[in-house]
Amino acid sequence: MEVEVKFKVEDFEEIKKKLAEVGKFVIEKVEEDLYFNSPWRDFWRSDEALRIRKDVEGVTLTYKGRKVDAETKTREEIKLKVNSFDKCRKILEKLGFKPVRWVKKRRRIYRVNEAVVCLDEVEGLGKFVEVEIESEDVKEAKKRVFEVARNLGLKGESIRESYLEMLEKQEN
């Protein structure tokens, strides 16, 4: 399971300083995600997602299941590396999947122990910090992601909406 919390921020500088003390910088990259909807069920209503992501590390097809709690974005996540964005897109479209929206962001990734911390600048939305841990022990992982978030000075309730959901709501 991917256990994740997300917070909107105005500035990354304080968080970067704290990450320099407690974490390790991994990579900075641009991610371009194309989301699809299913011909069999509406992913917006079922709280699922299917996307193809391309970045400097390659192309990944990802399925995200329903969120499992009211505090976080915890959900099943299945990833598959593919060697061609265009061919993957073509297969999905031939099967009836419809492209819904692009989500583009600049992402700086850090590691704090077993947690991954992402500083995201999302086109059309602003700046966010995500803290995630992949674990089957959801209860313990939730405790740890909130602890990392607090240690970074992130306050308030975490945002449960995906960037896709936020962009869709903003448009309507």
Catalytic residues: 35
Q: 3-class DSSP state for residue 99?
A: strand
* Cβ-proximal residues to 115 (8 Å cutoff; 6+ apart), any chain: 131, 132, 133, 144, 145, 148
149 by Cβ neighbours in 10 Å (0-12 / 13-18 / 19+) ranks as buried
Number of CB atoms found within 10 A of residue 74's CB: 24
Please count the CA atoms within 13 angstroms of the CA of 33 that sit on its side-chain side.
21
Query: What is the distance between the terminal CA atoms of the chain, rounded to a whole angstrom?
Result: 31
User: Is the separation of the CB atoms in 74 and 1 below 8 Å?
Assistant: yes
In the structure encoding, which two tokens stand for residue 91, read together? 């297969």
**Distances in Å between the alpha carbon of 62 and those of 4, 33, 48, 140, 166?**
16, 10, 11, 24, 19
